[in-house]
Amino acid sequence: MKTILAAAAMLAASATLAGAQQLAPSPTLDAIKARGTLECGVHLGLPGFSFANDKGEWTGLDVDYCKALAAAVLGDATKVKFTPTSVQQRWPILQSGQVDLLSRNSTITFSRNASLGLNFQGINFYEGQTFIVRKSTNAKSAADLDGASVCVAAGSTEEKNAADWFRERNLKVAITNFQKNDDAITAYDSGRCDAYTAGVGALAGQRAKLKVPGDHIILTQPISNDPQGPVTRWGDERWQLVVRWVLNGMIAAEALGVTSANVDEMKANSKNSEVRRLLGAEGGFGAMMGISNDWMYNAIKQVGNYGESFERTVGQGSTLKMERGQNQLWTKGGLLFTSPFQ
């Protein structure tokens, strides 16, 4: 019955749009609308990025993006079903269609893009891989780790990066691969390894899980670039469009000074036509993708722009207290730069 109603609603919607343009079919978008929820694959538990708090509510930068996407597509940021995925499960779960997208702190790499049928729809976190060590080791950079043993999650990009980095420099390091990040960090904490390696954001989040967080130091010099962002499977270009432009929209909103607090006022009074197009006051950009023209208005009103989300989840308003650094807008010395809403 629900499906029939949804189909009828869609028929009505497409009838109103017919004549203006013929939209390419989007099975994912249709399924989300019929279902009434967005299915989003997230990390098993990484404070600051995707973490279920003691009330069972998911919070974090990657989680916020899913909420914004749900607000854009369904008009309601709460209509998300979060599926926690391990390093091993993440690709099959996306490939087999169990989730609509992944937003889980996964590095964008060539081979994932080229041979796994995965598409990366932009970057919501620029990360560099580094190490956490005990202060007592006096290690100041990764180069001081000659002879050390390093715990890492098996199959992560970090595992390969670390092996390559030490081999190139002729440093002998014993890398011990655990199935889960949590196992690796437990082993590090119990003294099995001298260092644990992951992205700087992940380390900041996981440091809190250590017995005495103050005894450990995160090395500042990164050994790699790990851009991360939402992942979709191949096919369904129109869905990819939505995923990409909601992310762009959150970043553009920050650049344009649109926040969850002033979004109503901006929509009503802004003279800036890019702001007006972003918020659906003109241009009909949502309809071009097959969703409501209020898409980014809803996302920003309910979740906030990129900067608000960052501060709340990993920045100064959170326990992680990370600097914006590379994840700052390009106008303020960072790397965030979006295509214009034109």
Partner 1 sequence: MKPAKGPDTLAKALALLNDKRVRDVIYQVAVVVGLVGLTVYFVHNASQNMVKAGIASGFDFLWRTSGIDVPFVLTSYTQADNILGLFWAGVANTMLVTVIALVLSTLLGFLIGLARLSSHWLLSTVAGAYIEFVRNIPLLFFVLFWYFGVIASLPAPRDSLRVFGIAFLNNRGLTIPLPDAPGNFRWALIAILLAWLAQWLVARWARHRKEATGRDAPVLAIGLGLVVLVPVLAITWASLATRWDIPVLRGFNYRGGFVVIPEFVALLAALVTYTAGFIAEIVRGGIQAVPHGQIEAASALGLQRGQTMRFVTIPQALRVMIPPLTNQYLNVLKNSSFGAAIAYPDVVSLFMGSALNNTGQAIEIIAMALAVYLVIGLAVSAFMNWYNARIALVTR
* Residue numbers at the binding site for partner 1 (CB under 8 A): 87-88, 91-92, 95, 111-112, 115-117, 137, 145-149, 151, 154-156, 159-160, 162-164, 166-167, 172-179, 183-184, 186-187, 190-192, 194, 233-235
Q: With respect to partner 1, which residue has the nearer C-beta, 213 or 235?
A: 235
In the bound state with partner 1, the residue whose beta carbon lies nearer, of 236 and 308, is: 236
Give the gyration radius of the chain's Cα atoms. Answer: 21
Residue whose C-alpha is closest to residue 227's, from 326, 97, 342: 326
Tokens 């919501």: give the residue: 124
Of 148, 141, 126, 159, give the one whose Cα is nearest residue 221: 141
Taking the complex as a whole, the smallest distance from the CB of residue 14 to partner 1 amounts, in Å, to 25
C-alpha 268/C-alpha 152 separation (Å) is 51
Q: 10 Å Cβ neighbour count for 16?
A: 9
Q: Which is nearer to partner 1, 235 or 325 (CB)?
A: 235
Give the nearest distance from C-beta 136 to partner 1 in angstroms.
10
Question: How far apart are CB 259 and partner 1 at their closest, in Å?
Answer: 38
Q: Name the minimum Å distance from CB 139 to partner 1.
A: 9
- Helix, strand or coil, per DSSP, at residue 131: strand
Under the phi-then-psi rule, with left for phi > 0, alpha for psi from -120 to 50, and beta for the rest, what region is 339? beta
CB 300 within 8 A of CB 259: yes
Min dist CB 47 to partner 1, Å, is 22
Query: Whose Cβ is closer to partner 1: residue 195's or residue 263's?
Result: 195
Q: What SS3 state is found at 191?
A: coil
In whole angstroms, how close is the CB of 249 to partner 1 at the nearest point? 27
CA nearest to 232, candidates 242, 223, 220, 219: 242
Q: Nearest distance from residue 174's CB to partner 1, in Å? A: 5
How buried is 86 (Cβ within 10 angstroms: 0-12 exposed, 13-18 middle, 19+ buried)?
Answer: middle
38-43/101-102 β-pairing: parallel
Q: Which is nearer to partner 1, 155 or 333 (CB)?
A: 155
Coil, strand or helix: which one is 17? helix
Task: Give whichever of 228 and 302 is closer to partner 1, judged by the CB atom.
Answer: 228
Nearer to partner 1, 186 or 292 (CB): 186
